Structure 1
Amino acid sequence: MKLIWLYFIRAYISAGLFFYFRRIKIYNVEHVEKSKPVLLLSNHQNALLDALIIAVKSGRFSYFLTRAGVFNKPFVAKILKSFQMLPVYRIRDGWGKLSNNEAIFETCSKLLNNGACIVIFPEGNHSLKRMVRPLSKGFTRIVFETLESFPNADLQLVPVGLNYAKAACFPDSASIYFGKPIAAKPYHLEDRNGAIVKLKSKIQFEIGQLTTDIAKNNYDSTMEALERLEVDFLNPKAVNACVESKFQDCTPQKVVNSGLLKQVFLALLKCVYVLPFLIWRFLVKPKIIEIEFISTFRFAVVITLAPLWLLCVLTILLLTLGWQVAVAYVMLSLCIALIAVKL
């Protein structure tokens, strides 16, 4: 029953992402081994959307370590746990709760020993800035405790790079790069502190190759130059090469000019889904404090209120004008949504 639920959720979210993103490019997903325990270690830019894209595009049903604050309400906690999300406590949750992580890390080790896939965002927080922030050592603890408890576990570490064209905008495009798997055993040294430093450095470097990684000390000026050059942020290798060459080796992205037509269909989209749009525009969006959550909440509106609105309109049309008109309206609504997003 659990597997059926997970298949349903993945299919539903996949459909939602298809209607939300202009495109999502996937690279080297074959690096995610199907028969071995895997830790997917990803950069973290776009709040919950990062986890959803990995969940849908990695080819495995993964477990996710998630900040404990979102589990505060019992009903929400039950839903999140059905999605295979595990709470992780941080200092801001209170010193007394940090001990709860012992059980979570033990659970992770057992899951990995059984061949599971676990997703961790080792930066520890999210930010729209195009850089890989210093990694916390929490993931290394899971790695080494797993190897100590289960020495025969062939644990694989797969770095992941998530990239967005304009993360807070709609519609947006994304790319996800899966790096080559790294065997964890060679990093299991007697010198635990040295092993932690070595492993963190390796993973940070690998993630930095899979996403745009701009140095902190000249971030703003570098971003201004890259935006002026109109580089393709979905191609991090090219963008990083552009920065390393001091903006001499830069290729602008190919842009298809469909501005007026796109604006027309976006306007039609708002008219067709008028109630979900008004709820988003005037009730949900004004309450969002962190810009990193804009896309997450917008997507939540898309996959919840938009289908409900369409179902309500379908029911009204069925009862008043017949099934032919109702079906035609639904098909037209979906076509408008697709054209508005994909143009």
Structure 2
Amino acid sequence: MKKIWLHSVKLYIQIGLFFYYKKIKLEGIQTIPKNQPVLFLGNHQNALLDPLLIATKSGRICYFLTRAAVFKKPMVSRILNSLNMLPVYRVRDGWSTITKNKSVFSKSVELLHKNNAITIFPEGSHNLLRRVRPLSKGFTRIVLELRDKYPDTNINLIPVGFNYDAPKVMGSSVSINFGKPIASSLYSTLNEADATKQIKHDVFRAMSSLTTQIPEDGYETILKQLTDLNVDFTNPNLVNKCIKSNFKDCQSSPKRNSFVKAFLKPVIYLILCVPVLVWQKLAKPKVEELEFLSTFRFAICITLVPLWLLILFGIAVYGFGITLALIGFVITLLLLLAYNKT
């Protein structure tokens, strides 16, 4: 029953992401083992959308280590648990809660031993910065605990790079780059301290090759130059090459055709007047962190928008009959696709 629930949610989210993004590019998907333990390790730029993209595009049913703060409400906690999310506690949650991580890590070890896939964002927090930030060592504890308990079990550490064209904008593009698996057996002979250091180093380097890496020094200046050049942020190889060449070897991406979008915008806003008003007047003003902007907008898109379209469809059936209502419904979907895909 749980598998049916997970696959149903996955399908629904996939449809939502298809309408939400102009394009979702996948690189390295063929490197992901299908029936072996996998630990996905990605940079964390865009709050809940990062795990949703992994869940729907990796080809694996995943468990997710998620910050414990979102589990506070009982109903929310039940829903998150049903979606294979496990709470991870941080210092800011209180020192007394940190000990709870031991049981979560132990459960993760057992899941990996049974050939499951787990996703962790080892930066420890989300941030819109276009670079990989220093990694916490929490994920290495899982790797090393499994090594000690099940020395014959090899984990595939899969570095993942998320590269958003415009992370706060609906109808933008994103690329998900999956790196080559790093075998946990490579660290089997190292002591705990050396293994922790080496794993973090190797994963950080692999993740950095899969994402745009704007240096911390002069970050805003470099970001502005890249933006002015209209580089394709979904292609980190080209962007990093541009940065390393001191902007001598750069490629600009074509300007988006804004005419079609500008023409369709008032039509879309008129059709979706209620969801748009709810987003702009009620939901958006309450978003305190920019990293959650797209997450909350996407939540509106997959909940309120379908409900509103069904209401409009019902009104159309009552007023014009089922045939015209269906035609209107299909035209509406095509307009939504045209608006976000151009």
TM-score range, shorter chain: over 0.9
- Give the root-mean-square deviation of aligned CA atoms: 1.0
Give the aligned partner of residue 73 of structure 1.
73
Query: Secondary structure of the residue that 1:217 maps to in structure 2?
Result: coil
The 5 Å alignment of 1:184-263 reads 184-256=184-256, 258-263=257-262
Runs of 4 or more above 4 Å deviation:
none
- By how many angstroms is 1:250 displaced? 0.6
Give the aligned partner of residue 305 of structure 2.
306
Give the aligned partner of residue 40 of structure 2.
40
The 5 Å alignment of 1:1-343 reads 1-256=1-256, 258-343=257-342
- By how many angstroms is 1:254 displaced? 2.4
Give the whole-Å Cα distance in 2 for the aligned partners of 1:172 and 1:13. 17
Query: Secondary structure of the residue that 1:168 maps to in structure 2?
Result: coil
Question: Greater shift after overlay, 317-326 or 237-246?
Answer: 317-326
Structure 1, unaligned stretches of length 5 or more? none
Give the whole-Å Cα distance in 2 for the aligned partners of 1:146 and 1:84. 20
Query: Secondary structure of the residue that 1:63 maps to in structure 2?
Result: strand
Aligned partner of 2:63: which letter?
Answer: Y
- By how many angstroms is 1:190 displaced? 4.1
Give the whole-Å Cα distance in 2 for the aligned partners of 1:328 and 1:162. 38
Query: Secondary structure of the residue that 1:157 maps to in structure 2?
Result: strand
Deviation sequence 1:218-274 (CA, Å, 0-9, x none)? 211111111122111000011111111111111111234x21221111221111111
Aligned partner of 2:87: which letter?
Answer: P
Deviation sequence 1:253-309 (CA, Å, 0-9, x none)? 1234x2122111122111111101100010000011111100000000000000000
Q: Percent identity?
A: 45
Give the whole-Å Cα distance in 1 for the aligned partners of 2:121 and 2:190. 26
Normalising by structure 1, what TM-score? 0.98
Give the whole-Å Cα distance in 2 for the aligned partners of 1:247 and 1:62. 39
- By how many angstroms is 1:119 displaced? 0.4
Structure 2, unaligned stretches of length 5 or more? none
Aligned partner of 1:103: which letter?
Answer: S
Deviation sequence 1:58-114 (CA, Å, 0-9, x none)? 000000000000000010011111111100000111111111111100000000000
- By how many angstroms is 1:49 displaced? 0.3
- By how many angstroms is 1:191 displaced? 2.3
Normalising by structure 2, what TM-score? 0.98
- By how many angstroms is 1:152 displaced? 1.2
Deviation sequence 1:25-76 (CA, Å, 0-9, x none)? 0011111110110000000000000010111000000000000000000100
